[in-house]
Structures are given as structure tokens and as C-alpha cells.
Amino acid sequence: MKKIILITASVVMVGLIISIIIYLQYPQSSSLPTNREEQQDISPEAEKLQPIYDDDHTVGYSLQNKELNITFDKGKTWQYVPVEIDNLFAGEYNGNKQELIKNSYILSENRVAFLYMEKTNEYENKVVLTYSHDQGKTWKDAIVTDRYPMIRFRKVAFLTEEFGYVIISGDRVVAQEASNVYITYDGGENWKETNQSGVTRLISDGGFIDEQTGFLSYGTINPDEPELYVTQDGGNTWTQAFTNVPENYHEIFVTAEMPVKEEAHLVLLVNQGPNGDYKGGKVKGKFISKDNGKTWEFSKEIEVDDQEAG
């Protein structure tokens, strides 16, 4: 017995000493953000950057080495983006941080832009768009709004060289939040908030299809019908669109996606929301509008692949 006690005691002592050595190797309070100055000590070559590409993007980016870099030549040369990585994921975001948040950035040959939240002071945040029109040689910061609560949904897009929009939501409490739309007519330098739709449900998507016509789709938590708002005057007024969901699709097609132009009318896909299991959740409802988005008539079911479903 004496032997067992002594051996156990020795194991504990050695284990504790090793644990101290391991503990000392850890960066103390690993989550304390490191300074930019300190980060610069790590050259980008510290880890060979691997570009990440989106389906429809030809410009790649990397979040390696705790900084954002972009490449226009498949990784041969890189441009550093002067944005703190933490800010890109700031606010209410629980997804993976290995890739940028969908729709929070634009990567094209003529325009790269990143939308993010930054603390202004102890009590406030601002929403900023950092963008470049010369492939990352020079950068500009545009303040979309200088007072905003904790951001949740975020989306930025440009329809033309000059016209673009930002849709953000924040201050969420359970299933209620504020959502706001900002538009620019000068390529992103100045932003102006449009009137609000007045809806406090959680926004699921939004966007414009031309300078006048825009949509906001609400309902991400157990929606039972699509709630789509439309503006036909550049955001001055928002009215609820009427989506005529046939009786047999009630509570099946529940979340409206962003409408698209197709020939002389608009097409809207309505998906089954997060919990849909109609036909395995693999179909969406196709609706058509002939009055620029105010009313929508059901056209047919369309099949989508697994990744897109629901």
C-alpha cells in the first residue's frame, strides 16, 4: 500500500509540474485581442496564404495569420485589407470564422468592400464599409451609420457603379429587432438611411433589384407565412406584398427569398424555412409578380439541390 501511495503521489507531483509548464506556454488570456503593432511582427509569409473563393467571385481572400488579405492573381500576390478580423465578425454572429460572413463583402475586379461593425466608444458602435476601387492599392472607410446597437443581419451589394445598398439589423431581443436600409448613389462614399418598414420581426433577407424597387423578407424563427415588404420609390415607403400561397402550401412555403427579374416579370422563390420537411425540404415555391412585386401568384414547385434547400 505504501508503494502505491508514494507512486501516486509522485505521479501527481510530476503531473502538476508538467501542467505548470504547459500552462505557462499558453498565451495568458488568449482572447485578449492583440495589437495591430504586435500582429505586424508576424509576416504574411509566416503561413502560406491559401485563397478562399466564392462560387461567383474571381477575387480570393484569406483570413490566415489573423489578418484579411485579398488576391487578384490566384494567390501570387496579396493585398492587406486594413480591417480588424474581429470587427468583421462583431455583433451577433455564431457561425464559422474561417470564412467571411455571406453577403457582408463584395469581391470583384472593380470593387472590393467589407461591411463590419466597430465600437466607437463604450456605449456605441458604428457600421463601416471599407472599400477599394483600385484592387486594394488605396482604401477608404465610409460610415454607413455612426450609431448602431449590436448588429445581427448584414448585407451589402451594388447594382451599378454608383448605386448600392446596405441592410442591417440589430438590438435583437428574442424574436424582435430593428432593421434598417441604407442606400448610396455615389459608389459608397455617402450613405443615407431610407424610411423604415416598421416591422420588428427578424429579417431573413433583403435587397434591391433596381434603384426604386427593393424588398425586405422577414421571419427566421418558426415562420408560418412569407412576410415580404416592397418599396417602389427607393425606400420612401414600404408596403407588405401580397403573396398568394395556395391553401395546400400553407405553412409549407414560409420564407421569401430575394426576388429576381425574369423577362417581363419578377420571380420569387419561397422556401420552407429552417424546419421545412415537405418533400424532404427539397422544393421551393415559385411565385410570379407582374406588378413589380406588390402581388405574387403561385407558379409551380421547383426542386433545389440539398445545399440550397431550406
Partner 1 sequence: MTKRQDKRIKIIGWLLFFLAIGFFFLQMGYLFIHQRFQVEYIDNRIFYIINIICVLCLSLGILFLLTLTKKWKLAVASIVILFIIMNSVLLVIGNSKIKNVTSISPDFKHVLAIKQNTKTGEAVYYRNYYGILALPKETLPYKTDGEFKVEWLANDVAVVTYKATDKTIHQFIGTYGDRGGGLSYYYVGAEIQGAWQGENIELISSPDGISVTQNGRTETFDWDQIVQFGTLAIVLTENNQAKWTISLNEDFTIDSSSATPPSGGISVYRATMDENKPFVLIYEGAN
Binding site for partner 1 (CB under 8 A): 2, 5-6, 8-9, 12-13, 15-16, 19-20, 22-24, 26, 28-33, 35, 119-124, 173-174, 176
DSSP 93: -
Q: How far separated are the first and last CA of the chain, in Å rounded?
A: 63
Rounded to a whole number of angstroms, the minimum distance from the CB of residue 123 to partner 1 is 4
Q: Which three cell numbers, joined as nine digits, stand for 191?
A: 450613405
Least separation in angstroms between residue 173's CB and partner 1 is 4
Task: Determine the residue type at 52.
Answer: I
Coil/strand/helix, residue 52: strand
Which set of grid coordinates corresponds to residue 192?
A: 443615407
Q: What are phi and psi of 24, to 5 degrees?
A: -70, -25
Burial of residue 235 (CB within 10 Å: 0-12, 13-18, 19+) is buried
Taking the complex as a whole, how short is the minimal distance between the CB of residue 5 and partner 1, in angstroms? 6
Closer of 35 and 98 to partner 1 (Cβ)? 35
Shortest distance (Å) from residue 129 CB to partner 1: 21
Smallest distance, Å, CB 82 to partner 1? 19
Alpha-carbon span 266 to 279, nearest angstrom: 25
- The nearer residue to partner 1, 9 or 159, going by C-beta atoms, is 9
CB of 35 or CB of 244, closer to partner 1: 35
Least distance CB 7 / partner 1 (angstroms):
12
To which H or E segment does residue 228 belong?
Answer: strand 227-231
Amino acid letter, residue 26: Y
Nearer to partner 1, 170 or 207 (CB): 170
Q: Judged by CB, which is closer to partner 1: 172, or 284?
A: 172
d(CA 227, CA 243) in angstroms, rounded, equals 8
Nearer to partner 1, 25 or 248 (CB): 25
Report d(CA 176, CA 196) in Å as an integer: 15
- The neighbour count for residue 291, using CB atoms within 10 Å, is 13
